[in-house]
């Protein structure tokens, strides 16, 4: 964990800061677009690989379960380690409004994903468009709130 944290601190954070400065993005917008892209790219490619081909050679449930597992890992273990690594006298301040917004969208996405897993049981163009629509609405709300 230390190596991951130091690598992100030395390379990812400065690069993200420079890119967001060049694009004149707010911190929130850079976090939900650029940082999400860098963090989620490996998950996207592994999900595509696990999805298989058009002949049905793949395990979509394995792919979706891996994505859910990584989301829960980030929201639980990584958050715990970040809070635990902070100095005892320092407080980690979280803006209640932004935290609630992010939590609501995480829950909306998870409910949508569970609905797809249990009832639709396949991923097609319309299911993918639904995920993209949720993300676009989330980004629009972040942009509106950051002004």
pLDDT of residue 69: 82
| Torsional sign, CA 90, 92, 96, 97 | positive
Residues with Cβ within 8 Å of residue 139, at least 6 apart in sequence: 29, 32, 33
pLDDT for res 4: 63
Sign of CA dihedral 5, 11, 17, 20: negative
**Three state DSSP letters for 74-109:** HHHHHHHHHHHHCCCCCCCCCCHHHHHHHHHHHHHH
Closest CA to 54 of 113, 125, 117, 132: 125
Q: What is the mean pLDDT of each run of 10 residues along the chain (147 residues)?
A: 68 78 82 76 73 63 76 82 78 83 91 87 86 93 85
């Amino acid at each position: 964990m230390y190596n991951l944290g130091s690598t992100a601190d030395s390379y990812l954070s400065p690069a993200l800061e420079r890119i967001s400065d060049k694009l004149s993005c707010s911190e929130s917008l850079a976090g939900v677009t650029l940082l999400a892209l860098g963090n989620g790219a490996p998950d996207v490619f592994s999900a595509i690989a696990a999805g298989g081909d058009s002949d049905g050679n793949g395990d979509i449930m394995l792919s979706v379960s891996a994505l859910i597992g990584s989301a829960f890992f980030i929201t639980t273990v990584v958050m715990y380690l970040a809070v635990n690594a902070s100095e005892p006298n320092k407080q980690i301040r979280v803006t209640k409004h932004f935290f609630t917004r992010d939590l609501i969208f995480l829950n909306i996405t998870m409910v949508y994903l569970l609905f797809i897993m249990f009832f639709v049981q396949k991923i097609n163009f319309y299911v993918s468009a639904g995920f993209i629509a949720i993300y676009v609405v989330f980004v629009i709300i972040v942009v509106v709130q950051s002004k």
